[in-house]
Structure 1
Amino acid sequence: MDQQQYTNSFGKVYLTVQYDPANQWLYNDWQGLLSTDTVVQGCEGVLRALEATNCAYILNDNRGVIGSWNQANDWIEQHWMPQALAAGLTRFAHVVAPGIFGQSSAEAMHQRVGTRFEMCLFQDIEAARNWLLLARKNAEPA
């Protein structure tokens, strides 16, 4: 799977989705202000990538996100999560956006995940990468 980019109505890239074959995860790089529509369109793209790669891990990078995306959490919980689980998602490492609004949105999503899949919030991308690498290592047959 090649890198996929999603643009908003102004032609600005708000999401880049890329499969990392060496680490066997999807890397999602979100940028800017996110409307409900852009979150939905981007998440649908992530689902297509999950299905195409049969990938169990996501590294979701929100360091470039500005503001809240709480308005999309209902849709994420009701539509995206069941489809992501059906596509094989087991672990979701989420690097939170700087600032209280992005962190609040991530915490609200984390509460909605419950026990459906493992989700962990990180301030640092290296910690998120290490968490996924450890999970992959532990999942490999001895």
Structure 2
Amino acid sequence: MADVWAVTSAHSYISLKYEDERDWFYIKWNGHINSDDVIATAKYYLQQQEERRCPKLLSDKSEVTGEWEEANDWLQYEWMPQVEQTGLKYLAMVLSRDMHDLSTAQDLKRRISPACKVALFYDIASAIRWLSAPEPSK
């Protein structure tokens, strides 16, 4: 059985699951998210990643609205150096159709790409295919 963590609020529902058969974490975002949601989830993921040391992360924001760009500084300067030490090498991000999500995700990709291969997708199937490759590239 997969380990699942979830947070609910008046505006969002976020779940984090370790998928043993794929040896990756899957974060599913729903609702209207903000920077606080992103930072809280990233902190919890880091705790779980310290135990499991998975090289891959699938972050699915296909069903969200909201702006989370303010979290990018924290993700770049606080989170990424720590998570890099735990072995994260590949991050697949499934984007929302919200224009704010695209620009924020592109900014995050630019910021953390030197430490981690990041790929952006508009559908979960493409993200899973990329992340399932022995050595994802992009």
Same fold, TM-score > 0.5, yes or no: yes
Gaps of 5+ in 1: 138-142
**CA–CA distance in structure 2, aligned partners of residues 47 and 131 of structure 1:** 22
- Distance of aligned partners of 1:123 and 1:40 in 2 relative to their CA distance in 1, 3 Å threshold: same
TM value normalised by structure 1: 0.88
Q: Give 1:116's aligned amino acid.
A: A
Paired AA for residue 7 in structure 1: T
Q: How does 1:53-132 map to 2 (within 5 A)?
A: 53-132=52-131
CA contact (8 A) 1:5 1:13 kept: no
Residue 140 of structure 1 aligns with which residue?
A: none
Contact 2:12 2:33 in 1 (8 A): no
Structure 1 window deviating more from structure 2 (77-86 vs 128-137): it is 128-137
Structure 1 segments, 4+ long, off by >6 Å, are: none
Which consecutive residues of structure 2, in runs of 5 or more, have no partner in the other structure? none
| C-alpha distance in 2 between matches for 1:36 and 1:56 | 24
Which residue of structure 1 lines up, in the alignment, with residue 6 of structure 2? 5
RMSD over aligned CA atoms reads 1.7
Among all aligned residue pairs of Structure 1 and Structure 2, give the percentage whose two residues are the same amino acid: 30
Q: Deviations over 1:24-58 (max 9, x none)?
A: 11000012222222211111011112112221100
SS in 2 for 1:70: coil
Give TM-score scaled by structure 2 length. Answer: 0.90
AA aligned to 2:25 is L
**Matched letter for residue 52 of structure 2:** T
In the alignment, the residues of structure 2 paired with residue 76 and residue 19 of structure 1 have an alpha-carbon distance, to the nearest angstrom, of 21
Contact 1:4 1:18 in 2 (8 A): yes
Equivalenced residue count is 135
Cα distance between partner residues in 2 of 1:16 and 1:136: 26
Name the structure with the higher helix share. Answer: 1
Distance in 2 between residues matched to 1:99 and 1:41, nearest whole Å: 21
SS of the residue aligned with 2:7? strand
Q: Distance in 1 between matches of 2:66 and 2:132?
A: 29
The answer to whether the 8 Å contact 2:34/2:66 transfers is no
